[in-house]
Structure formats: C-alpha cells, structure tokens
Chain A
Amino acid sequence: MNQLFKMAFRNLGRNRRRTLLSALAVSLGMALLLLIAGVLHGEMDGAMKNTILLSSGDLQVRNAAYNEEKMSLDWKDLIASPDAVVEQIKALPQVTAATPRLLASGILTLGENSRGVQVIGIDPASAANQVFRQGILSGEFLTADDRDGILIGKPLADKFHLNTGDQVSLLVNTSNGDTDEQLFTVRGVYSTNTSSYDENTVFMPLAKAQVITGAQDHASLIFVLLQNKEQADGVAAAIQSPGFQVLTWSKMNEIIVQTEQFANSFMVLFYLIVLGITATVVTNTLVMAVFERTREIGVLTAIGMKARQVLAQFMTEAGLIATGGVVGGLILGLIVVGIFNHYGFYVGNYGLSGMLISDRIYANLQTSDATRLVIITYAITLLASLYPAIMASRLEPVEALHAQ
C-alpha cells in the first residue's frame, strides 16, 4: 500500500504543472460551488427571516373570512376587539411578541407625484415592531397617540423628496367601501434594507389607522413572533378556535419554500455541469499519463503486475489529485464564503412577490452542503478517473511494450 502511494505520488510529480492544474481545476470548481451553495442558502434563509420579521410573522391570526388578497376592511372580515385575543396569545410561553395590525391600501400624493402603498397600522410599543424602530434613519418612531404622523421608507422618501416634518397627502380605503384622504406629517424615515418593502409600506399608529379607515376597534390580523419558528405548528394548534384562521410561516411563505426547493434542484444540475468540466480536466490528465507511460505499464505487467493493480495505481493517482483538489477547494471556498458572509454583496431592489430579499445578500454555508459537496466532488473525480484507469489496466503487455 505504501509503495502504491509512493509510486502514485512520484508519478504525479513527473509533470507537476499538469498535476497542479488538474488539482486546481477541482479546487476552483469546488470553491465556486461552495460559494454558490452559501449564497443560495444565505439568500433563501435571509429571505425567509426577512419575510417573517417584516411581513408574515411566525404566525398570524385572522378572521376566518379575511382574504389577504383583497385586504378587506369590512368589519365582518376583521378581528373585533383584538386586544383580548392578543393577551391570550401572549400568555403562551413560546410567544415573544403578539400585536394587532390593520392593513389598508392607499395612495400617497405630493404635488403631481403619487404612488400606491400599503398602509399598516401598528402598535408602536410592541416588540414585534422593534425592527422598524431600529431602522429609523431620521426623525422619530411613532407614538400610539400620534394623530397625523406616519413613517415612510427611505426609497419612498427619496422618490418624493420628502424629509422628516414634511407633509404629504395619503388616501386610504375605508370599511364602508369609500376612501378618505388626509394630510400627514412624515414623523420619521426608516429602512429595513429591503427596498421592495420600504418603497411600498407606510406605517401609522393602529388607533389612527382604525379611525381613518373606519375600522374602529378592529384589526386585520394579529402578528405573532415565536422563540423558534419550528414551534409554529404546535402553537397554531393550541390557539386554533372557531371564527379564526391561524396561519403558520410555512403556509404563508410557500413561495419561498418552493423557490428554495426549485433552487436546490437546479443546484444539483449546476453541480453536475461544473464538476463535469473539472472531471474532464482530470480525465484528460490521466489519459495523457496513460499514453506517456504505456511502455512502462507494459514492463510492469510483464513482470507480473495484474490488471487490478494497474487500475489501483491510476485510481490512487486520481485519489491524490482529488484529495489535493478537495482540500484546496475547501480552503479557497471557505475563505471566499467567509468574505461574502462578512461583507455580503449588494443586489439592490430584488424583491419578488411574497419574498422579501434584503438589498445585500450574505453567504451562509451549511455544514451539510459543504459535506455533500466534498463527497460529490471526490466521487465525480474518482469516477472520471475510471476511464483512463480501465484503459491502462486493459493494455496488453505485448502491445504496451512496443509503444513508442
């Protein structure tokens, strides 16, 4: 066994540049795949966390008749006196925050500029809205008794050239099917670093939202955050009651789950393409080695080396290339993933419907992905070496000895 490795090592050393290039091809391919796997997981994981935190929550409680698409403000579709339900939910140990929200569609107008927005009435004191409080760039956060203040996102402020203290007209739908319009003061400008959300969402205190929409003591939904999102099914079952619908994050964000599943399937195809290219390099290297060493193989078989031993010789060489390539790829990949994990990279306003992606994506490589890639890279490299190894092992000694 030692002799096998010694010979393999020395054989690879005959043409160091070629060997290094082959291992480098494996390394680069693997590093690229590690980066892509990290970015993909980072993007999907980030999108899910972002969407839960900003939009869906881990759980939502709605009136059984509520239709999210219509954003209905009809009392029969809303939760009446939501505070009592909120208190019940808060009493559960898994719940970290529960707060009522009222959702309405509106149009923000300033001079000749107007834009359709989603108006969300929130309880400013709730921990669930901490993400918006922390995102205040200028001005101040809302207070519960603010009667004409709103928060707008930075992209919207930039578009309308609005600053804190400026006034803007906001028209909203009301419960009776009409609209109401009022001048509001920009109390603060916020950013969640998710342009697709920030440019479309306007916040006001829940009480004011209930007044302007005519919803009175009603809320569209109760937004719930849990200690761990995996607790959602259990909590949902516990708070299920007639007249309400309780939705979990996985149900509300099916598009993200499906997109991730699709992306993972696509990644397998991408793995095969990239590793197919690196495998071709390794195959080519070993085929050239077989041609160069044909007479030598003839000598070895003449003095009694069996076909399987010739095969083992070339597979050992391939194994060494694969090991070097995988170790190099792992080091290079982890460095690159580390850089993108720390700094991320800017993608800008890239939100898809139902999927809130941050303006900056951070790579997040999972151990399972890295392990899987190591195994796949190793296996494909060895598989690619089978052809030249078999070719060498099938050489007839008498023909091999006469090779030039």
Chain B
Amino acid sequence: MEVTKVINATRDFKVGEVETHALRGVNLSVENGEFTALVGPSGSGKTTLLQLIGLLDQPTTGNVLINGKDVTNLNRNQRADLRRGSIGFIFQFFALIPTLTAYENVEMPLLLNGMKAPERKARADEMLAAVGLTDRADHRPDQLSGGQQQRVSVARALAIRPSLILADEPTANLDTENGKQVMELMQRLNQETGTTFVFATHDPRVIKFANRVVTLRDGLIVENGNGKA
C-alpha cells in the first residue's frame, strides 16, 4: 500500500523578481515499510520534496496523497491535524525544544494528540528505551550530545506511531560514529515496527543504509531506485 504519492508536483519560489523552480514535475510513490533515501546535490529539491510529502508546504501544481487521500488542498489546520496523527519528523538541526527534558520532548506530540497521562508516560518511556536513552530522560537538550539529541528526535518522531517518518539530513550535524548509530537505529526501527522512513541525504555513508535510493537533480527525479515513479 502507498503511504504517500506525489503526482506531477512542481514548486516555484519567487524572491523579488527572481523565480526559482525547486521542483519541476516530480512523480514519486512510497510503499508502506520502505526505507528510502532521497539523494542529490544541494539545491536538487530533496528538502522541498520532503516538505511537500510532510505537508509542511504545498505544491504550486500537482497533487500529494497520504495513505491514498488527496491532501493537496487541505487548509493549515487540517494539515496540522494530519501531521500530528500520521507523520513524524527528524530534522538536521536536532530540533528539540530546549526548555523541555528529553522525556518531555518525546511526550510533546502525544500531548498534542490528546493522549491521556498514563498512556503518554508509558509510550514516552517505551520510545526512550527504544533509542537507548532511558537514563537521559530528565536531561535537557543542552545536557545531551549531538547524537543523543538526534536519538531523542527519532524517539519523538516515533512516539505517535506514524505511518511515515521524514528525516531531512538526519546525520549532517553528527560525527561519523554518531551518524552511523542514528542510521542503524532508524533502520532497526524500520525493520521492527514497519514504519516507513524517507530521508534526504547526500552522504554516501548514509545512502548505503537505504533499501531504495531516489536521485534528484535540478528539481527532477533522475533515478527512481526500485520503487514506482
């Protein structure tokens, strides 16, 4: 089953008089359980495509489907609802809330989903255990290493048990060892939970973890791995 499908999507940005065509007509389908890498040089459109799939942005033309439903024209609140229930995010810059502990960061999407306290605690504990940070639950982000912060991000993304996790350059700010650990963690969770992962990267060491590699260049998919275009 397709978790997400992008149909002939374009995305144009206009800054002053200059118009940039970040995506020029992209078609992509991601099946449930895939571990897919979007690769390509800077400016190829990887992040823009992830943002369209993640409903953070809307295509200029074309359509985006999530779990078979066309979500292209949802309003801001509807997109927020859908993200909150079915999409997890892992960002390049860790993106934890600095005033919250590791536990509270993981708990945040569960709170936004209105989950009751006992269930929330059990889930947050479970996710921190899954990323090996139970003993760091009460630490704030500035008390954690970069690798630990990114693992908390992974736990936060997984907490709502989404059908799709999108990761934008998840290892870009990590050293080799920590980057490897995060990728292994994501791969293990993909295999154990069946959660679909789509991540953007241009790091060859990360690309090798992917089951499928989709290559973008100048806003177009030039190589579509073994998936469906």
- Per-position binary interface string of chain A over residues 84-98, scored 1 when its CB falls under 8 Å from any chain B CB and 0 otherwise: 000000000000000
Whether A296 contacts B97 in the complex (CB less than 8 A), given A309-B112, A398-B56, A401-B91, comes out as: yes
Whether A304 contacts B81 by the Cβ 8 Å rule is yes
**Interface membership of A280, Cβ < 8 A:** no
Whether A299 contacts B91 by the Cβ 8 Å rule is yes
Whether A303 contacts B99 by the Cβ 8 Å rule is no
Instruction: Please provide the chain B residues from 103 to 123 with a CB less than 8 Å away from any CB of chain A in the complex.
Output: 108-109, 111-113
Whether A7 contacts B99 in the complex (CB less than 8 A), given A302-B56, A309-B112, comes out as: yes
Whether B83 contacts A300 by the Cβ 8 Å rule is no
Residue from B51, B84, B93 within 8 A of A304 (CB atoms): B84
**Interface membership of A16, Cβ < 8 A:** no
Chain B positions within 8 Å of A309 at CB level? 112
- Per-position binary interface string of chain B over residues 151-193, scored 1 when its CB falls under 8 Å from any chain A CB and 0 otherwise: 0000010000000000000000000000000000000000000
Residue from B51, B83, B98 within 8 A of A303 (CB atoms): B83
Chain A positions within 8 Å of B81 at CB level? 304, 306
**Interface membership of B85, Cβ < 8 A:** yes
CA distance A3 to B114 in the complex (A): 12
Quick one: which of A14, A302, A307 has the most chain B CB within 10 A? A302
Residue from B57, B88, B99 within 8 A of A11 (CB atoms): B99
CA distance A10 to B99 in the complex (A): 6
Size of B's binding interface in residues, CB under 8 A? 26
Which residue on B lies nearest to A309, using beta carbons? Answer: B112
CA distance A304 to B54 in the complex (A): 11
Chain A positions within 8 Å of B88 at CB level? 303
Chain B positions within 8 Å of A10 at CB level? 99-100
Which residue on A lies nearest to B113, using beta carbons? Answer: A304
Determine how close the nearest CB of chain B comes to the CB of A292; give it in whole angstroms.
Answer: 11
CA distance A306 to B91 in the complex (A): 19
Whether B97 contacts A302 by the Cβ 8 Å rule is no
Chain B positions within 8 Å of A303 at CB level? 83-84, 88-89, 108-109, 112, 156
Quick one: which of A300, A306, A397 has the most chain B CB within 10 A? A397
CA distance A309 to B77 in the complex (A): 11
Whether A295 contacts B109 in the complex (CB less than 8 A), given A14-B99, A304-B80, comes out as: no
Chain A positions within 8 Å of B97 at CB level? 7, 296, 299-300
CA distance A309 to B100 in the complex (A): 17
Determine how close the nearest CB of chain A comes to the CB of B153; give it in whole angstroms.
Answer: 9
Instruction: Please provide the chain B residues from 51 to 99 with a CB less than 8 Å away from any CB of chain A in the complex.
Output: 51, 54, 56-57, 76-77, 80-81, 83-85, 88-89, 91, 93, 95, 97-99
CA distance A302 to B100 in the complex (A): 17
CA distance A163 to B133 in the complex (A): 93
- Per-position binary interface string of chain A over residues 297-314, scored 1 when its CB falls under 8 Å from any chain B CB and 0 otherwise: 001111111110100000
CA distance A299 to B99 in the complex (A): 14
Chain B positions within 8 Å of A401 at CB level? 56, 91, 95
Chain A positions within 8 Å of B84 at CB level? 303-305
Whether A3 contacts B109 in the complex (CB less than 8 A), given A10-B99, A299-B91, A299-B95, comes out as: no
Whether B99 contacts A305 by the Cβ 8 Å rule is no
Chain A positions within 8 Å of B99 at CB level? 7, 10-11, 13-14
Residue from B57, B93, B95, B100 within 8 A of A7 (CB atoms): B100
Chain B positions within 8 Å of A397 at CB level? 56
Whether B112 contacts A305 by the Cβ 8 Å rule is yes
Chain A positions within 8 Å of B83 at CB level? 302-304
Instruction: Please provide the chain A residues from 265 to 296 with a CB less than 8 Å away from any CB of chain B in the complex.
Output: 295-296
Determine how close the nearest CB of chain A comes to the CB of B85; give it in whole angstroms.
Answer: 7
CA distance A306 to B77 in the complex (A): 6
Whether A398 contacts B112 by the Cβ 8 Å rule is no
Which residue on A lies nearest to B82, using beta carbons? Answer: A304
CA distance A66 to B99 in the complex (A): 79
Determine how close the nearest CB of chain A comes to the CB of B79; give it in whole angstroms.
Answer: 9
Chain A positions within 8 Å of B91 at CB level? 299, 401
CA distance A398 to B112 in the complex (A): 19
Quick one: which of B76, B88, B113 has the most chain A CB within 10 A? B76
Interface pairs (27), CB distance under 8 Å:
A3-B111, A7-B97, A10-B100, A14-B98, A14-B99, A295-B93, A296-B97, A299-B89, A299-B91, A300-B97, A302-B56, A303-B89, A303-B109, A303-B112, A303-B156, A304-B80, A304-B83, A304-B84, A304-B85, A304-B109, A304-B112, A305-B84, A306-B77, A306-B81, A307-B80, A309-B112, A401-B56
Task: Give residues in A with beta carbon < 8 Å to B.
Answer: 3, 7, 10-11, 13-14, 295-296, 299-307, 309, 397-398, 401
Taking A304-B84, A305-B84 as known contacts, 18 extra A-B pairs with beta carbons closer than 8 A to each other, sorted by chain A number, are A13-B99, A14-B99, A295-B93, A299-B89, A299-B91, A299-B95, A299-B97, A302-B54, A302-B89, A303-B156, A304-B83, A304-B109, A304-B113, A306-B77, A307-B80, A398-B51, A398-B56, A401-B56
